[in-house]
Amino acid sequence: MPSSTGLPNRVIPVLALAAFVLVWLLNLGVVQPNRIVAGTGYGLFDATGWFGAGTVSSLLLVVVVLATKPIRNRFWVLSFLLTAALMSLPLLLEVFALRKLPADSAYARIGIGAGFWCLAFFLALMLLETLSQLKASRRVQLSVVLLVAAGWWLCAAREGLSSLSLIREYANRADQFSQALTVHLSLSLGAVAISAVLAFGLALAMVRRERLRRPLLGLVSFMQTIPSLALFGLLIAPLGALSAAFPALQALGIRGIGWAPALLALIAYSLLPMVRNTYVALMEVPEAVVDAGRGMGMSERQVFLQVKLPVALPVIIEGVRITTIQAIGLTAVAALIGAGGFGTFIFQGLGQAAMDLVLLGALPTVCLALAADAILSALKFQETPR
């Protein structure tokens, strides 16, 4: 491996050079007269001056040199540099605001340009490659992610970034944001939890009765093929009729629109990955391991709980991971039928041509999906037999 033999690393220099080119070609930020007008874009030099442009350029060139030279402990140095760069990256926007934001306009704000996002993206890719070369443990990787998140949080709390359009959108909707977070998590995690119970029962039924495998897998596969918007629409009429026929359902909030059709659709979409993974995991437990348990005098119940289930658990968790990420994304679409969540901000922003409002809904959705992926991947790694 490059980290142990000292051979040049080709991935990091390519990423660094791509970041260098894009951050100079694209706008780092935009000055907007108000929340809707597109505004004027500024490149790296115009936005931050010689100091900011020189710092970014020097960092990327140093990364290229370190990655291509057989310097001892270079990947540790690279991981430190890249982590520090990612943590402090929002300070570029603060410098931009101090230089270009009009002081006499109460409605003026700064928006984040494509150059900033490209720089952040490529720095993150380089950091991932560096950690991969170091063979960093899950604990180290999680620590790095938390450090970067803490750095961005501290930067966002600074007075210099109060004019950032994204932060202003959040400040104007702080209560709605908290409510959207609660609804988004409740819908997505609730759907995953219910689907996990149903999927486990269906998988057990298929394991015990092989003739049920084809119809049950066919059913959950069919539900997966229905487009999400179509499924949401198909559920409006029957749930609306039920709520009209039974007033008690209306009292529970079950109507043709809202959380009820969203939850049912999310459950339907979540079944296939978990049913398939659970069934395959239970069927592929080595027969020798099962026979060893029986040979120790275990009952069939003990064999299942103490032998089959622990061996199958990593694959089952993988199904839950896939389903959770999918459910978090689909919950945003459910805002179209009044379910709430972060999708509300996304579609409001699209309707008002306010892209920072779109980001206010899209970025937390992405962060939730990444957090779910990291947590469940770590859990799967923990449960995988060494």
Q: What is the pLDDT of residues 103-149, one digit of tens each?
A: 777 778 888 889 999 999 999 999 999 988 888 877 888 888 889 98
Q: How confident is the model at residue 4 (pLDDT cuts 50, 70, 90)?
A: very low
Domain ranges (residues) in the chain: 2-172, 174-383
pTM: 0.83
Q: How far is CA 149 from CA 143, 155, 286, 371, in A?
A: 10, 10, 42, 12
On the 0-12 / 13-18 / 19+ scale of CB atoms within 10 A, 197 is exposed
Residue 381 has pLDDT above 80, yes or no: no
Q: How many CB atoms are closer than 10 A to CB 152?
A: 16
The rounded percent of the chain whose pLDDT value lies above 90 is 33
Q: How confident is the model at residue 234 (pLDDT cuts 50, 70, 90)?
A: confident
pLDDT of residue 74: 86
Question: Strand order in 109-112's β-sheet?
Answer: 40-42, 29-32, 109-112
What is the average per-residue pLDDT within 22-48? 88
Among 13-17, 161-165, 253-257, 280-284, whose mean pLDDT is lowest? 253-257
Considering the four listed CATH numbers 1.10.3720.10, 3.30.360.10, 3.40.190.10, 1.10.1040.10, the one that applies to the domain covering 174-383 is 1.10.3720.10
Q: At 109, phi and psi to the nearest 5?
A: -155, 165
Residue 303 has pLDDT above 50, yes or no: yes
- Spatial distance between the Cα atoms of 345 and 365, rounded to a whole number of angstroms: 11
The tokens 């039920």 sit on which residue?
Answer: 242
Residue 1 has pLDDT above 50, yes or no: no
